[in-house]
């Protein structure tokens, strides 16, 4: 039972590390290296894609807490990602094709639908 708890802790640590990295890449938290807010939407998209891959590959093998945490993190990141795409569209004068074409929404169903709504 102790080894199972350690595995749960390690899995949640991985999820939270990817969450933190994505928030940093979205410019939501300060980079510990530069001490500044920095945005890198392609990196954020890749971090979200990694979490989505973990979700697919671990489906049916997670505890209820692990599954809920992963879903909460993904929802939070997807919404923030779409929000950043909208900011880029607005700063580009409303040209819906400029930034989203360079930084497509993460591959999850909710994120894709939200990104499509953002372009309308």
Q: pLDDT per residue over 41-83, tens digit each?
A: 999 999 999 999 999 999 999 999 999 999 999 999 999 999 9
Residue 70: name the closest of 59, 82, 81, 79 by CA.
59
The domain in which residue 68 lies consists of: 2-119
pLDDT interval class at 1 (50, 70, 90): low
Question: How high is the pLDDT of residue 119?
Answer: 46
pTM over 0.95: no
How many C-beta atoms lie closer than 10 Å to residue 49's C-beta? 15
Q: How far apart are CA 113 and CA 81, in angstroms?
A: 13
Spatial contact of 17 and 50, defined as CB atoms under 8 Å apart: no
Q: Give the orientation angle of helix 2-25 with respect to helix 64-91, to 10 degrees.
A: 0
Computed over every residue of the chain, the mean pLDDT equals 83
């Amino acid at each position: 039972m102790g080894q199972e708890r350690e595995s749960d802790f390690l899995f949640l640590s991985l999820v939270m590390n990817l969450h933190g990295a994505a928030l940093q890449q979205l410019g939501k938290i300060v980079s510990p290296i530069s001490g500044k807010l920095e945005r890198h939407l392609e990196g954020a998209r890749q971090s979200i894609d990694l979490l989505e891959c973990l979700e697919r590959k671990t489906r049916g093998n997670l505890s209820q807490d692990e599954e809920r945490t992963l879903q909460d993190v993904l929802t939070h990141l997807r919404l923030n990602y779409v929000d950043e795409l909208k900011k880029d569209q607005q700063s580009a004068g409303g040209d819906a094709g400029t930034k989203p074409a360079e930084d497509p929404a993460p591959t999850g169903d909710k994120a894709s639908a939200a990104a499509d709504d953002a372009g309308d």
